[in-house]
Amino acid sequence: MAKVVSIVIGLVTVAAAVWVTQCPCDRNPGAWVFGDVVDAAIIDWSFANEAGLCQLEVSGLIPHSINLNCMADRETLFVSCARCDGKHWSTVAMEVPYGRIKINNSVYPVKMVRVRDDATLDRAWLARANKRRGRSTTTSPPPRPSHWWSFRLESY
């Protein structure tokens, strides 16, 4: 029996180590994000538009990280989600606004601020559309849905 317990503990340990070091992956959340930490304040986030998905880490006893789209409009970096109300990461971001975002292989400490004004939400929506199209344009995207939330990420 002790041998079975040892094997189970070993498998759980290996699975946990893989999860912590490899995720977030696809739609599965992870814990800490790893990469080169950039402590310098970022003034121009436009390089985020060249990245695929970003990985956002929010605080907690064990941090929670997810893959999501990040997009920049001039000097402002945004992350967003549809139907955010009640999602773990957005709830934590509003309670403890300090986290980290991984873009490519670099990790940036950020403060997450929920955007509530229509003008800034529209800027984020257009930045999202431009990133998805792969270019900057002034062509209007489809109307922004009311259930779409955005957070402005500030370097600190």
pLDDT tens, position by position, 44-90: 999 999 999 999 999 988 999 999 999 999 889 999 999 999 999 99
CATH number at residue 77: 2.30.110.10
120 pLDDT above the threshold of 90: yes
pTM of this structure:
0.82
pLDDT at residue 149 tops 60:
yes
Provide the pLDDT for residue 6.
Answer: 61
Q: How many domains does the chain have?
A: 1
Do residues 78 and 124 touch, judged by C-beta distance below 8 A? yes
Is-contact 115 121, C-beta < 8 A?
yes
Percent of residues, the chain, with pLDDT higher than 90 = 67
What pairs with residue 102 in β-bridges? 55, 107
Picking from 102, 103, 85, the residue whose alpha carbon sits closest to that of residue 94 is 85
Pairing of strands 76-82, 148-155: antiparallel
pLDDT value, residue 19: 46
* Residue span of the structural domain in which 32 resides: 2-155
